């Protein structure tokens, strides 16, 4: 295939993929407004209101993107210049996408092997996994929690989470 054909295929693939934020926001937008019940605590309603949930989610997504950058740096030993330029130009999910694209058996095996022996890799992988699990906990406690959790897990960041959690031994292989 020619270089222009490969570039078009890559652009089409990137456009077809939906980011974690977009998936969750789409799910939130379709959520029916639930009536407030007198039995719920006011604090819980405020914490899980749409604006607060959105703000919290965006903060965690930003942290996940930084954690993905840290994982790439720990595994590769350095950061690719082209990806770093994109990251600094506000394409924050570029490292998550890099991990998603490279999530083959070789990468997973390398992470599993280094997770046991390399403190830096272990720390960075575990940080990503913990952040994603915080996001899942937050989503599960909100309205339409199951659908939001599914949207999170179906995203690139969610698939990276599954790969890293498996490599770290946190979840059984799928």
Find, among 47, 58, 39, 71, the residue nearest to 168 by Cα. Answer: 71
76 in a domain, yes or no? Answer: yes
Q: Which domain holds residue 118?
A: 18-28+43-167
Q: What is the mean pLDDT of residues 115-141?
A: 93
- pLDDT over 90 for what percent of the chain? 41
153 in a domain, yes or no? Answer: yes
80 in a domain, yes or no? Answer: yes
Collapsing DSSP to helix, strand or coil, 92 comes out as coil
68 in a domain, yes or no? Answer: yes
How far apart CA 123 and CA 131 sit, in angstroms, is: 12
In the structure encoding, which two tokens stand for residue 70, read together? 């840290």
Q: What is the mean pLDDT of the chain?
A: 78
Q: What is the pLDDT of residues 2-55, one digit of tens each?
A: 545 444 444 333 333 445 656 555 555 555 544 444 444 434 443 456 677 788
Give the pTM: 0.73
Q: Total structural domains in the chain?
A: 1
Q: What is the pLDDT of residues 63-84, one digit of tens each?
A: 999 999 999 999 888 999 999 9
Alpha-carbon distance values, 30 to 4, 15, 16, 148 (Å): 38, 22, 20, 11
98: how many CB neighbours lie within 10 A of its CB? 21
Place of tokens 């990137």: 14
98 in a domain, yes or no? Answer: yes
13 in a domain, yes or no? Answer: no
4 in a domain, yes or no? Answer: no
Q: What is the pLDDT of residues 86-106, one digit of tens each?
A: 999 989 899 999 898 876 678
């Amino acid at each position: 295939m020619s270089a222009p054909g490969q570039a078009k295929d890559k652009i089409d693939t990137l456009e077809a993929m939906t980011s974690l934020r977009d998936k969750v926001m789409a799910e939130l937008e379709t959520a029916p407004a639930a009536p407030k019940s007198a039995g719920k605590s006011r604090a819980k309603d405020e914490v899980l209101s749409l604006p607060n949930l959105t703000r919290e989610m965006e903060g965690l997504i930003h942290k996940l993107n930084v954690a993905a950058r840290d994982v790439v740096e720990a595994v590769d030993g350095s950061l690719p210049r082209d990806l770093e330029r994109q990251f600094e130009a506000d394409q924050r999910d570029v490292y998550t996408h890099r991990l998603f694209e490279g999530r083959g058996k070789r990468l997973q095996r390398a992470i599993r092997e280094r997770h046991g022996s390399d403190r830096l890799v272990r720390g960075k992988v575990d940080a990503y996994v913990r952040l994603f699990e915080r996001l899942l906990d937050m989503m599960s406690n909100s309205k339409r929690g199951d659908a939001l959790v599914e949207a999170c897990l179906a995203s690139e960041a969610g698939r990276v989470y599954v790969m890293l959690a498996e490599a770290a031994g946190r979840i059984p292989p799928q």
